[in-house]
Amino acid sequence: MKEAPLLDVRDLTKLFKSPRGVVRAVDGVSFRLEESETVGLVGESGSGKSTVGYMIMGIVPPTSGTIRFKGAEIPADVSRRPRQLKKNIQIVFQDPQASLNPRRSIRRTLELPLSIHMAQRGRQRRQAVNELLRIVQLSPEYAYKSPTTLSGGEKARVAIARALASQPEVVVLDEPTAALDVSIQAKIINMLVDLQREMELSYVFISHDMSLMRNVASRIAIMYLGRLCELAPTRQFFETPLHQYTKMLLSSIPVISREEEELRPAKVSSEGEIPSPVNVPSGCRFRTRCQMATEICQQEDPLHIEVEPGHHVWCHLLSTGEKKQGKELR
């Protein structure tokens, strides 16, 4: 019998009420995270990927849907979760500048998770702080600095150290390097990959950077306006993308070499813009920008098909196995 996955997200949905109507930020998202793997959650603005991360952490309560950790359902609100659970699921926030309290020294920031979840006291705790700094390749004197004197890369490292302090099993990484330069990003990401191996961590890696995901994730899920479009092992995702949005995204990425250009799918040119999340298109939300949209795309929610084992798509065009060359309907 197959063991329960580390993290099992089912039908996660989040609706916000805004003055302009209901915002369907996340709509029926499901995926699994196994041990020691990295699932990449990709999307542009309005896709809801960060909201999914926040729901996993319990910071944003889902409107419906469940989250299971090692088979058991966990409370939706972080304040109701037992300490053991908080120890095991941690997050690195998007903007390291904002996620470190500017009025507290690095030492105090790192001591917080240690004091709650770990048993060391006094000198041992100080040593634990130094050990955390060492893991993220910062020297011990950083303990006494305040976040305002740190560079972007250093702040990112401290945020990562804090997330790892409780020795979690799952870490949600919400665009941890989005604000960093590419040469610093390379260092940080490599460090994250090494740490994953050493500490047997599983990552939910939220990002908009497809090239980065190509090299970091073992499986990738792509979201558009709150819904999953495609979910596949990384190689298949990039070599045989099936969803039109995936193809559009892949052909829009600016790359720096000819080999990468050739890898991109036949040009699905990017047209139009992401509709407002308050006014999501009926049926398939991508239909307003999809060149292959047909009538059924407007009327019904896209079907989920597992085209190959592990390769999931949510699209009408693939439902009968043949592409319907119907009228373009916007």
Partner 1 sequence: MNTVLPALKRKLETLGESWYRFSRNPVSIVGLTFVLLVSFLAAFADYVAPYPQHAGRFVDFNNASQPPSWRHLFGTDLVGRDVLSRVFFAFRYSLWMAVVVLILVVPPGVVVGLVAGYSKGSWIDLILMRVTDIFLAVPPLILALAIVSVLEPTPLNSMLAISLMWWPWYARLVYSMVSSLRNESFVRAAEVIGASRPHILFRELLPNCLPAIFTKMSLDVAWVILLGAALSFVGLGAQPPTPDLGSMVSDGARYLPDLWWIMVFPALAIMVTVLGFNLLGDGLRDLFSLEEL
Partner 2 sequence: MTEPEPQLRIENLEISFKVYRGVLKVVDGVNLEVQPGQRVGLVGESGCGKTTCGRCIVRQVKPTSGRILFSSTRLGRTIDLHAAPEKERSMAGREAQMIFQNPGAALNPVFTIGDQMRAAIRYGSRENVAGRGILAKAKAAIKEVQIADVDRILRSYPFQLSGGMRQRVCIAMALATEPSFLIADEPTTALDVTVQDQILKLLRSLVERRDTGIIYITHNLGVVREIAELVYVMYAGTIVEAGPPSMLFDEPVHPYTCGLMESVPRLTGVGFSKGIAGSIPNYLVPPPGCRFAPRCDRAIDICREKKPEIREIDNGRRVACFVTGGNP
The token pair at 42 is: 């990709």
Q: In whole angstroms, give the CA distance from residue 98 to residue 266.
A: 40
Binding-site partner at residue 102 among partner 2, partner 1, none, CB < 5 to 8 Å by type: partner 1
On whether the CB atoms of residues 189 and 216 are closer than 8 A, the answer is yes
Restricted to residues 113-172, the positions that interact with partner 1 (CB under 8 A) are: 113, 116-117, 126, 141, 143-146, 148, 159, 162, 166
Binding mask 124-143 for partner 2 (x = CB under 8 A): --------------------
Residue 214 contacts which entry, partner 2, partner 1, none (Cβ below 5-8 A, type-dependent): partner 2
Q: How far apart are CA 172 and CA 202, in angstroms?
A: 8
Binding mask 225-264 for partner 2 (x = CB under 8 A): ---------xx--x---------xxxxxxxxxxxxx--xx
Smallest CA-to-CA distance from 207 within 29, 53, 96, 65 is with 53
Nearer to partner 1 among residue 59 and residue 255 (C-beta): 59
Whichever of 89 and 213 has its CB closer to partner 1, that residue is: 89
Q: CA nearest 292: which of 254, 310, 319, 311? A: 319
Pair of tokens at residue 111: 């001591």
Q: Which does 271 bind (CB under 5 to 8 A by kind): partner 1, partner 2, none?
A: partner 2
Q: Which of 77, 271, 308, 328 binds partner 2 (CB under 8 A)?
A: 271
Distance CA 172, CA 22 (A): 27
What's the rounded Cα separation, in Å, for the pair 143 and 96?
Answer: 16
- Decide whether 95 or 295 has the Cβ nearer to partner 1: 95
Q: What angle do CA 282, 283, 285 make, to 5 degrees?
A: 75
Within positions 186 to 225, which residues make up the interface with partner 2, using CB under 8 A? Answer: 186-187, 189-190, 208-212, 214-216
* Residue 105 binding: pick among partner 2, partner 1, none (C-beta 5-8 Å cut-off by kind): partner 1
Per-position DSSP letters for 118-164, written without gaps between them: ----HHHHHHHHHHHHHHTT--GGGGG--GGGS-HHHHHHHHHHHHH
Q: Which stretch binds partner 1 (CB under 8 A): 56-64, 212-220, 272-280, 299-307?
A: 56-64
Angle in degrees, 0-180, between the axes of helices 182-199 and 152-164, rounded to the nearest 10:
10
Instruction: Please name which of 85, 87, 15 lies closest in space to residue 277, comparing C-alpha atoms.
Output: 15
Structure tokens at 316: 């009408």
Q: Report helix, strand or coil for 105.
A: coil
- Give the residue with the Cβ less far from partner 2, 247 or 316: 247
Considering beta carbons, is residue 118 or 318 the nearer one to partner 1? 118
Binding test (CB under 8 A) with partner 2, winner from 64, 151, 291, 320: 151
Helix (H, G, I), strand (E, B) or coil at 30: strand
Q: Is 50 in the site for partner 2 (CB under 8 A)?
A: no
What, of partner 2, partner 1, none, does residue 86 touch, CB below 5 to 8 Å by kind?
partner 1
Residues engaged in binding partner 1 (CB under 8 A): 57-59, 78-79, 83, 86-87, 90-91, 93-95, 98-105, 108, 112-113, 116-117, 126, 141, 143-146, 148, 159, 162, 166
Residues engaged in binding partner 2 (CB under 8 A): 44-45, 151-153, 181-187, 189-190, 208-212, 214-216, 234-235, 238, 248-260, 263-264, 270-271, 273-274, 276
